[in-house]
Amino acid sequence: MIRRDKMKKILILIDKIGPKALFLGKEVNATVACFTDLLFDINGGNIKILVKGIDINEFKLVYIRRADHSHFSLAGSLARCLDKLGIPYFDRSFSEIGASGDKLTSYLKLSIAGIPVPHTIFCMGGSVERYEDYIVSKIGFPIISKELVGQHMAGIYSVSDKRQFSQLPRKVEKNNRIAKYLFQKYVPLENEYRFLVLGDEVKIIHTKVPRDYSLLKLNYSNLNQNEEYLDVDSVSSEMRKIAIKAAKCLNIQIAGVDVAVEAGTGKIFVFEVNRGPGFNYDKKISREIDEVAKFLRREAGGD
């Protein structure tokens, strides 16, 4: 029989801790934690995960005991990170997450593939207080906070001091579930673009008004955006290659890739890769529908 003081450190991760989970943890001398205890720090190709403030590298094995539907994507994201960090885990099937992944999953995949994304930290709304000092120390003010499920600029907040962390909603109003947040370093933007990538080509590019968080108000859900369509060749080949690589990394064949240029440094960042992007149906303004139609016909074996 293996002595408990000689056993390697084990993490048991579960959606809700109950007596049975604690009993199992005691039997194998393991740490038992919830998905709500996790923090992901994505900084370039470097990925760090904390569990109750403990670096996950301190564990020699992770057992993802149970993940309900609200934590399934998070379990898949964790599996991707454990693969990257070389930490064994069960069950391996979590690494196969595909279209059911979320924005965190996408950021992790892009980061692992070497695609430039903003410095991003993820944690659950209920753990913000635990990790706010860590977030501030790594990113610094101002911090842009985005609800994981937010779309069209909804659920985006700017945090300029620690007091404002407490003003972030702990639950998503739409379904009353615990909020999930991506915290990102504020990047002053020179330009921002949406690339329509079809297969392995950029076919349409339009500008987006750079997101201005400089006023440091708490909620930025109602910003207006204007757009101007550009000749594809007018944008650098480097940005086009990054957009195509990002779409391929996520295995999306019709993708809307948001790419931005940082003011002052010229650094390029991918903010988002959209599956099923919106189209401008006015053919007088944009060729999007024509290009998508040609792509679909070609892929179907037509002209």
pLDDT of residue 236: 95
State the average pLDDT over residues 42-63. 94
Is the pLDDT reported for residue 7 higher than 70? no
pLDDT of residue 115: 96
Element (H, E) at 77: helix 72-85
Q: Which range is least confidently modeled, 49-53, 108-112, 182-186, 298-302?
A: 298-302
Residue 220 confidence class, pLDDT cut points 50, 70, 90: very low
pLDDT of residue 210: 54
Q: Are 229 and 204 in contact (CB under 8 A)?
A: yes
Amino acid at residue number 36: T
pLDDT of residue 82: 96
Amino acid at residue number 14: I
pLDDT of residue 35: 92
Burial of 113 (0-12, 13-18, 19+ CB in 10 A): middle
For the stretch 144-158, pLDDT in tens is 999 887 655 668 888
pLDDT of residue 292: 95
For the stretch 122-177, pLDDT in tens is 999 989 999 999 999 999 999 999 988 765 566 888 899 999 999 998 877 666 77
The pair of structure tokens assigned to 164 is: 């404002």
Domains of the chain: 1-114 (3.40.50), 118-186 (3.30.1490.20), 189-212+221-299 (3.30.470.20)
Is the pLDDT reported for residue 238 higher than 60? yes
Residues above pLDDT 70, as percent of the chain: 87
For the stretch 178-212, pLDDT in tens is 889 999 988 888 999 999 999 999 999 999 765 55
Is the pLDDT reported for residue 225 higher than 60? no
pLDDT of residue 209: 65
Task: Measure the CA–CA gap between 1 and 27, rounded to whole angstroms.
Answer: 13
The pair of structure tokens assigned to 257 is: 């890739």
For residues 6 and 1, which has the higher predicted lDDT (pLDDT)? Answer: 6
pLDDT of residue 156: 87
Is the pLDDT reported for residue 223 higher than 60? no
For the stretch 65-83, pLDDT in tens is 888 788 888 999 999 999 9
Residue 216 confidence class, pLDDT cut points 50, 70, 90: very low
The pair of structure tokens assigned to 188 is: 């002053």
Residues above pLDDT 90, as percent of the chain: 62
Name the pTM for this structure.
0.86
What is the longest distance spanned by two Cα atoms in the chain?
76
Kindly state the DSSP code that residue 179 receives in the 8-state scheme.
Answer: P
Is the pLDDT reported for residue 218 higher than 80? no
Buried/exposed 43-78: b ≥16 CB within 10 Å, e otherwise: beeebbbbbeeeebeebebbbbbebeeebbbbbbbb
